[in-house]
Amino acid sequence: MQVIELKVALDTKRLDLYIAENTELTRSHAKKLVDDGLVTVNGKAVKSSYSPKAGDVISVRIEDAKEIDLTPQNIPIDIIYQDDDVAVINKAQGVTVHAGGGTKNDTLVNALLYHLDSLSGINGEIRPGIVHRIDKDTSGLLVVAKNDAAHLSLSKQIQEKTCKREYLALLEGVVKNDQGTVSTFIGRSPKDRKLMAVTKSGRLAVTDYFVVERFPEYTLCRFSLQTGRTHQIRVHSKYIGHPVVGDRAYGFKKQKFDLNGQLLHAFRLTFTHPRTGEIMTFTAPLPDYFEKVLAILRAKVQK
């Protein structure tokens, strides 16, 4: 059983709504957990209508997902490094990391089960080996744990922010400052539960950005995550008025380039090897479709 603990920063709304905004749970799922007695506030059971107060500690117990029969699939994946403990994957755009939401096949996990000899079991049958994830339409690096000891070490590194993840993204418009930090709270969007948004009662999200290259109507930026919230870079880019190019969910519905998703790429990953203690850094070049757009923009500048 998984336990999530939330510490309330400000007085806020209903308990079930607060949980939904600060986790990946839907409001209906959160309400069911409360009604089933799986949620406590300061160690005591309460009703869904309870209004969390600043300083409250909310504990949410989530029963393990039912096991599903995942089929190993011979899906080509780019394994750029592996040993007995870890594997580093350069995930292609359009590939879902693990099963869920009706998706059972054609995920990265299905491919990992085929190509790797072992995976950690801490995340259960649905997400074996998965320590962190990136969005389906985001490309780039992620590290996979091949045993439970490696999984625990990598998870701790992510929690303590010693595992560094850096991204490149092409943003709409001209970003004013050469660098900056975006610090907000991110939770479920009240308008669309499938999306995230900057909210008053979400979880703290901190993103550092650095301008890499400027174009008349676009800006190539490097992002470094201090926290790891769902869709964090995409939400923060929208928040500062410069959504990621190709991102129809958080950006412009009409795009100038023929793209299958956002131009967001996890290009650099640094972590400490769980067994040897060696600090390891991996990089992955931008995908061809990303480079093609940059080439078009650079050609226009040179004219």
Q: Is the separation of the CB atoms in 211 and 176 below 8 Å?
A: no
* Tokens read off for 42: 């300061």
Specify burial of residue 79 (Cβ count, 10 A radius: 0-12, 13-18, 19+).
middle
Q: What is the DSSP letter of 286?
A: P
For residue 185, give Cα distances in angstroms to 17, 52, 231, 263.
15, 16, 12, 24
How far is the C-alpha of 119 from the C-alpha of 130, rounded, in Å?
9
Helix 27-35 vs helix 15-22: angle between axes, to the nearest 10 degrees? 130
Q: Is the separation of the CB atoms in 103 and 41 below 8 Å?
A: no
Q: Is the dihedral of CA 245, 193, 197, 102 positive or negative?
A: negative
SS (H, E, C) 191-247: CCCCCEEECCCCEEEEEEEEEEEECCCEEEEEEEECCCCCCHHHHHHHHCCCCECCC
Catalytic residue among 16, 56, 85, 135, which? Answer: 135
In b/e form, how buried is each residue of 233-248, taking b as 16+ CB within 10 angstroms?
A: bbbbbbbbebbbbbbe
| 64 is annotated as an active-site residue | no
Instruction: Return phi, psi of residue 13, to 5°.
Output: -85, -150
| Catalytically active residues, by annotation | 135
